[in-house]
């Protein structure tokens, strides 16, 4: 069994070298994998909600798409990554939680995905690949050295993006 660094819900981790990052049970949440391909440094964020509230405590930043992505970018920069060279891969935002009267394009998964895309665009970080929406939970494994993001879903073959 390989050794993984686990990223819990509303958290992030960074790695370099051959270390791999894993986050499990992505439903309406979004996994954001950021990487500097030249330095082979990367991180994985498990976004739970779209936008942080005013005066949110620093330890809650990873919970939100906007503050979590900024926090991850800053951490990667501290590790030596070049902010101008960062690229992203994203997964998740499944329509798991359905609320009567709320259209899918307005549910929490869609709002999470929109917030992630907005923040990455704001920071000029291109999304190289994505596996989003649908109705199934996912587990993702990110290898910063190669940039490979493996998506695992029950009853399906693993997908590499």
Chain-centroid distance, C-alpha 100:
27
Annotated catalytic residue, options 7, 15, 22, 29: 29
**Cβ atoms within 10 Å, residue 37:** 17
60 is catalytic: no
Strands 20-26 and 138-143: antiparallel
Distance CA 136, CA 154 (A): 8
Provide the Cα torsion 114, 19, 25, 107; round to 10°. 0
Q: Report, as residue numbers or ranges, the catalytic residues.
A: 29
């Amino acid at each position: 069994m390989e050794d993984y660094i686990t990223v819990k819900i509303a958290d992030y981790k960074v790695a370099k070298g051959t270390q791999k990052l894993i986050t499990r049970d992505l439903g309406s949440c979004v996994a954001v994998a950021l990487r500097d391909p030249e330095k082979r440094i990367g991180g994985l964020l498990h976004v739970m909600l779209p936008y942080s509230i005013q005066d949110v405590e620093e330890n809650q930043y990873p919970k939100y798409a906007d503050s979590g992505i900024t926090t991850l970018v800053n951490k990667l920069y501290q590790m030596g990554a070049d902010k101008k060279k960062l690229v992203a891969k994203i997964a998740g935002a499944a329509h798991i939680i359905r609320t009567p009267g709320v259209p899918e394009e307005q549910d929490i998964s869609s709002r999470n995905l929109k917030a992630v895309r907005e923040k990455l665009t704001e920071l000029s970080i291109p999304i190289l690949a994505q596996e989003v929406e649908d109705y199934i939970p996912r587990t993702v494994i990110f290898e910063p050295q190669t940039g490979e993001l493996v998506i695992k879903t029950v009853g399906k073959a693993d997908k590499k993006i």
